[in-house]
A and B are shown apart, each in its own frame.
Chain A
Amino acid sequence: MSAIPSSPLKAEVKKLNFYYNLVQALNDVNLPIAEKRITALIGPSGCGKTTYLRCFNRMHDLYPGNRYEGEIILYPDQLNIISPKVDPIEVRMRISMVFQKPNPFPKTVFENVAYGLRVRGEARRNLLEEKVEKALKQAALWEEVKDRIHDLAFNLSGGQQQRLCIARALATNPEILLFDEPTSALDPTATSKIEELIMQLKKEVTIIIVTHNMQQAARVSDYTAFMYLGEIIEFDKTDKVFTHPSIRLTEEYITGRFG
């Protein structure tokens, strides 16, 4: 563990342990999350990347028997996200997530993007329209769907559906946006569009991305954490991790000797 980011922090993970019932999946992990930067989590399958990411929006609370220890401090108000005293719904109102597979609801494009706003009680039509349009523009989808905003989302292509999911996550102005292998179900063209979009988005929002694809991490992220067996082996600026990793295991992974 090294390299405290020079930019201000949006969140800080301190001695986080996570258990699925009796099985420990994360072991004393620490990680600073720089504000309006992209932090990538890489590592072989089963190393705990996704488990780690899902701690940030308390997704594990949906299933019985899961347990957190330690802290994830959200700045500026220093809220400990994983404290049992903090309502997971409050956390999820501030931290959105984009999942591995595009998963729009069987609703129209408009209603998909408006979902988060509607559960927050927003019913004013003109405000919804304004925010939906803004989110779709942020997700670089507006031009493609503006004429069929009231069509079913299933009629969009896979890549468009994933950008729709990004728009849906953005519509509520989250402070952090979590990406869980967002391009693993997409073709190369759609993938590069999403990557471009993610790089654009860091101007407005802090991003944490889990990826299997090391080139992707190298292309889009500012900081990279390499995880193995539930621990963070190395964390540093992305350039540094990919050009001069300081730990042998990291080097072996990024050069493809295992994983």
Chain B
Amino acid sequence: MRINRRRYLTQKVAKILIWMAALSTMGVMALIVLQVLSEGIPVLSPRFFLESPRSMGREGGIFSTIIGTIALTVVAIVVATPLGVGTAIFLGEYTREGRISRVIRFGIGCLAGVPSIIFGLFGFVFFVIYLNMGWSILSGGLALAAMILPTIICTAEEALKAIPYSFREVSYSLGGTKWETVTRAILPNAMPGIFTGIILGVCRSIEETAVVILTAGSSLIIPTSLFSPVRTMSVHFYILAREGISMEMAYGTGAALILLVLFVNIVANWRLNRYIRKRA
């Protein structure tokens, strides 16, 4: 009976510890979100979203930074998705485990571990200076694309790995080529996983500050082309808070940022569930 009691006790302690881990994680998250939202939401109004900042952001809204955020994210995703998914397909379907795939995976692993400020520095030296693209949407988007590439590759590769081998065999047995097998039998089934990776990339692009500040500048003017400099919402938040311009406006921007990320995730989830329901 002693053993039983000990096992019972272990079970109880484990349960409490695990609950505590989960609750404290959620608690910290809730604390941050609530803090920003409670300070920021009073600032939010239609005018806050639709007016551009005036006098360095002390007054007006955040319209131009919303445009900047969206523009950079779109460039980053448009560039990183085909490269990332293509690399994942190469690793999963077009090459056997060997030296080349190991070198590529090692490279991806390194990229994933690099702090974002390094991507910023790289973007600044390479895109802004060397390629003479200046502080611009293009420079910023390309640097962000490099930053989110490992995420997209890894999630896409996992999604491809999860496809049962029988689908490949059936497709080949019906006379399919490798390309037909990839595009008709594998990719459609891996789409939900790949999409999840892309959404992760979207959220990281929206939130990123260090890369953007070094590659896209901090202009508050509404951009007119890919070569215009922009300021994103996160950078705006950083500058407002760091330079003590207006904590009120900073919190407003922070709240808008959190709501944007929430919105992206909700819409993505909804689309994803619809896609999955339609197919299964």
Select one of A59, A107, A169 contacting B172, CB under 8 A.
A59
Q: How far is the CB of B273 from chain A (nearest CB, A)?
A: 16
For the complex, what is the distance from the CA of A118 to the CA of B177, rounded to whole Å? 12
Interface of B (DSSP majority class): helix
Question: Can you spell out 20 A-B residue pairs with CB atoms less than 8 angstroms apart?
Answer: A62-B168, A88-B172, A89-B175, A96-B173, A97-B173, A99-B170, A101-B166, A103-B164, A103-B167, A105-B167, A106-B188, A106-B189, A107-B279, A115-B174, A116-B175, A118-B184, A119-B176, A119-B177, A165-B170, A172-B174
Contact B180 A99 (CB under 8 A): no
Query: Which residue of A has the minimal Cβ distance to B98?
Result: A64
Q: How far is the CB of A105 from chain B (nearest CB, A)?
A: 6
Q: How far is the CB of A93 from chain B (nearest CB, A)?
A: 4
Q: How far is the CB of B181 from chain A (nearest CB, A)?
A: 8
Q: How far is the CB of B39 from chain A (nearest CB, A)?
A: 47
Within 8 A of A (CB), among B236-280: 279-280
B101 contacts chain A at the CB level, 8 A cutoff:
no
B169 contacts chain A at the CB level, 8 A cutoff:
yes
For the complex, what is the distance from the CA of A89 to the CA of B174, rounded to whole Å? 9
- Chain B hits for A105, CB < 8 A: 167, 170, 185, 189
Contact size range, A: 20 to 34
- Chain B hits for A59, CB < 8 A: 169, 172-173
B52 contacts chain A at the CB level, 8 A cutoff:
no
A154 contacts chain B at the CB level, 8 A cutoff:
yes
Q: Would you give the 0/1 interface string for A35-64, flagging 1 where the beta carbon is closer than 8 Å to chain B?
A: 000000000000000000000010100101
- Chain A hits for B180, CB < 8 A: 119
A152 contacts chain B at the CB level, 8 A cutoff:
yes
- Chain B hits for A165, CB < 8 A: 170
For the complex, what is the distance from the CA of A116 to the CA of B164, rounded to whole Å? 19
Contact A119 B170 (CB under 8 A): no
For the complex, what is the distance from the CA of A99 to the CA of B174, rounded to whole Å? 12
Q: Which 7 A-B pairs have the closest CB atoms?
A: A116-B174, A93-B175, A97-B173, A119-B176, A103-B166, A92-B175, A119-B180
Contact B174 A119 (CB under 8 A): yes
Q: Tell whether A106 pairs with B184 under 8 Å between CB atoms, given A89-B175, A120-B175.
A: no
For the complex, what is the distance from the CA of A115 to the CA of B173, rounded to whole Å? 11
- Chain A hits for B279, CB < 8 A: 106-107, 152
